[in-house]
Structure 1
Amino acid sequence: MKILFVADPLESFVTYKDTTFAMMREAQRRGHYIAACEPRHIRWLRGQSVQAPVRDITLTGQAQDWFSVQQDRTAALADFDAVLMRKDPPFDSEYFYATHLLEQAEREGARVFNKPQALRNHPEKLAILEFPQFIGPTLVTRNADDVRQFHTEHQDIILKPLDGMGGMGIFRVGPDGMNLGSIIETLNQDGAQTVMVQKFLPAIAQGDKRVLVIGGKPVPFCLARIPQGGEVRGNLAAGGKGVAQPLSARDWEIANTLAPILYSRGLLLAGIDVIGDCVTEINVTSPTCFQEIQQQTGCDVPALFVDALEQALLPETS
């Protein structure tokens, strides 16, 4: 099988924890052929297929110089058996445009995972609104007065931008309302930007759990990202400590409900973020935590993913 990874620059990978690297390693172990490019390399010219300059690579097994380039060439995306869109957020305009180029490649016969249309239809903060039975009190608005009213009702709240990643731009405001006006101005920009406001969930002290669903099925272990040193954010990028643990009964309920729905829409892999009993985000662009879960529990998440990818590529039978 020939697999093209559309990702950030290979030179930027931190291989001991990078999920895309873990996917590549498992794919190569099975004898699959690996190539890589960046979203900025994808191009389309009338009369031609969607193409990109790609690097055919082999993983070396070394911590440094972890890949070797076998060949640099230009290839049509449809020439690969699978195209994996693994560009990290933010989901900005360039990411959006890349999904349209990938969708054109689909029309030419490419198999893209996750599906470009599904990536556009499931913004990671807003996707939770479809499942109100699993989320805490939440408000999405541009209106500053709405935010103030929400704070009056719930007292302890979290505010965040819709396009943030890794915990960036997240604020907590307690019952005293300290700095609420300034935070609203920063995030809302005088009504120009939509913000998400949620009731603070004290269960964050036990971690912001990343529950992975692959091929319509939950992975039996999650990674609880636990805030450190008085920080309110559990994100690993914000200094959180990752602790792998079995799914709770509530985690299973959430994952078993969402997994088949997301898979039916073309999302081979998604990461559901859960604090306590509540879903806070549904990550679809470039979900992570494969290596942390595997290293701490022995659950071979990369193998589960490549299993699901191989199954998805099997010809349909009537």
Structure 2
Amino acid sequence: MKIAFLADPLSGFKTYKDSTFAMMREAARRGHAVYAFEQRDMALEEGVVSADIAQITLTGDADDWYRAAPKAAMRLSEFDAVIQRKDPPFDMEYVYGTYLLELAEQQGARIFNKPSAIRDHNEKLAIAQFTEFTSPTLVTSDAARLRAFHAKHGDVIFKPLDGMGGAGIFRIGADAMNLGSVIETLTLNGAQTIMAQRYIPDIVKGDKRILVIDGKPVPFALARIPQGTEIRGNLAAGGIGVAQPLTAHDLHIAESIGPLLAERGLLLVGLDVIGECLTEVNVTSPTCFQEITDQAGFDVAAMFIDAVERRSKGK
């Protein structure tokens, strides 16, 4: 198979933990040809979507980890699979990229995750489709509504709808200290919509990342545990990742919504769960492959490439 990865610059990969690298390594191990390109390499010309794409060879070295052949213009439909792994921010450039990928699909490209499904599932807002699993949540730009939500619940998390890695997340307790400032800052004085959620005390036990591949959950989650006085468990915010078997409730959440998301074209999803509450549905570039594999011994990348092989063959 020929597999192309749409990713951020390869030079920035931290190979000891990068999930895209784990996918590439497993694909190469199976003898598949591995290619890479960035979003800026794509173009629509005379109705055809192509990109300047380089075939890469993995060296096995942790730092100097790849060799890239010269880039060549290739139609995305030439590949057996195109893996969308560009990180947020989910800005208009990202949206334009999904439009180009969607056009490439119409020309025969097989793209995972499906571009329109990525676009339709905001990683924060998508939980509103599964309210039976969520804590009380408000989405608005209105300061009065946000203040009323805080007054009702007393301990509240405020966060932007387009953040990643825990950026821009604030906790406001019962004393309402800095409530007005946080609301003004995050909403840009009422110009930007944000999310408020009742604080979930179980965050001290970890923000669990549950990976779902082609509708089936990986049997281990990575609990990202906040350190010190930090409220965020995100690894990018200093959280410590601990792999642990899925609880019965984790499994119930994953098995309840995973098949539906797979039907929509989301081959790989990262469900974030705190306690028994679903907090995010990650669809752009879910991570934690290597942490789970290293600690629990379950080969997540092999499960993922198995799914890509099946889907690429139309199974």
TM over 0.5: yes
Q: In structure 2, what is the equivalent of residue 102 of structure 1?
A: 101
Q: In structure 2, what is the equivalent of residue 19 of structure 1?
A: 19
Q: In structure 1, what is the equivalent of residue 170 of structure 2?
A: 171
Where do residues 48-127 of structure 1 align in structure 2 (5 Å cutoff)?
Answer: 49-127=48-126
Deviation at 1:288, TM superposition (A): 0.2
Q: In structure 1, what is the equivalent of residue 143 of structure 2?
A: 144
Equivalent position SS for 1:187: helix
Deviation at 1:313, TM superposition (A): 1.5
CA distance in 1, matches of 2:31, 2:157: 46
Equivalent position SS for 1:109: coil
Equivalent position SS for 2:242: strand
Deviation at 1:180, TM superposition (A): 0.1
Equivalent position SS for 1:68: strand
Asked whether the 8 Å contact 2:15–2:63 carries over to 1, the reply is no
1:26-82 Cα deviation digits (max 9, x unpaired): 0000000000000111001124x2111111001000012100113421111110110
1:127-157 Cα deviation digits (max 9, x unpaired): 0000000000000011100011001110000
Q: In structure 1, what is the equivalent of residue 275 of structure 2?
A: 276
Moved more, 66-75 or 256-265: 66-75
Asked whether the 8 Å contact 1:207–1:227 carries over to 2, the reply is yes
Asked whether the 8 Å contact 2:50–2:73 carries over to 1, the reply is yes
Where do residues 170-189 of structure 1 align in structure 2 (5 Å cutoff)?
Answer: 170-189=169-188
CA distance in 2, matches of 1:128, 1:278: 10
Q: In structure 2, what is the equivalent of residue 239 of structure 1?
A: 238
Structure 1, unaligned stretches of length 5 or more?
Answer: none
Equivalent position SS for 2:171: strand
State the TM-score, normalizing by the size of structure 2. Answer: 0.99
Deviation at 1:97, TM superposition (A): 0.3
Asked whether the 8 Å contact 1:294–1:301 carries over to 2, the reply is yes
CA distance in 2, matches of 1:310, 1:288: 20
Asked whether the 8 Å contact 2:52–2:72 carries over to 1, the reply is yes
Moved over 4 A (4+): none
Q: In structure 2, what is the equivalent of residue 215 of structure 1?
A: 214
Amino acid at match of 1:113: F
Q: In structure 2, what is the equivalent of residue 28 of structure 1?
A: 28
CA distance in 2, matches of 1:286, 1:194: 23
Asked whether the 8 Å contact 1:267–1:284 carries over to 2, the reply is yes
Deviation at 1:175, TM superposition (A): 0.2
Amino acid at match of 1:132: T
Amino acid at match of 1:190: N
CA distance in 1, matches of 2:57, 2:69: 7
Deviation at 1:190, TM superposition (A): 1.8
Q: In structure 2, what is the equivalent of residue 191 of structure 1?
A: 190
Deviation at 1:10, TM superposition (A): 0.4
1:159-200 Cα deviation digits (max 9, x unpaired): 000011100000000000000000000001121000100000
1:231-287 Cα deviation digits (max 9, x unpaired): 000000000000000000110000000110000000000000000000000000000
CA distance in 1, matches of 2:283, 2:314: 25
Equivalent position SS for 1:43: strand
Asked whether the 8 Å contact 1:127–1:282 carries over to 2, the reply is yes
CA distance in 1, matches of 2:158, 2:26: 39
Q: In structure 1, what is the equivalent of residue 4 of structure 2?
A: 4
Asked whether the 8 Å contact 1:3–1:82 carries over to 2, the reply is yes
Deviation at 1:315, TM superposition (A): 3.6
CA distance in 2, matches of 1:315, 1:161: 38
Q: In structure 2, what is the equivalent of residue 252 of structure 1?
A: 251
CA distance in 1, matches of 2:9, 2:28: 19
CA distance in 1, matches of 2:85, 2:189: 34
Asked whether the 8 Å contact 1:23–1:302 carries over to 2, the reply is yes
Asked whether the 8 Å contact 1:57–1:71 carries over to 2, the reply is no
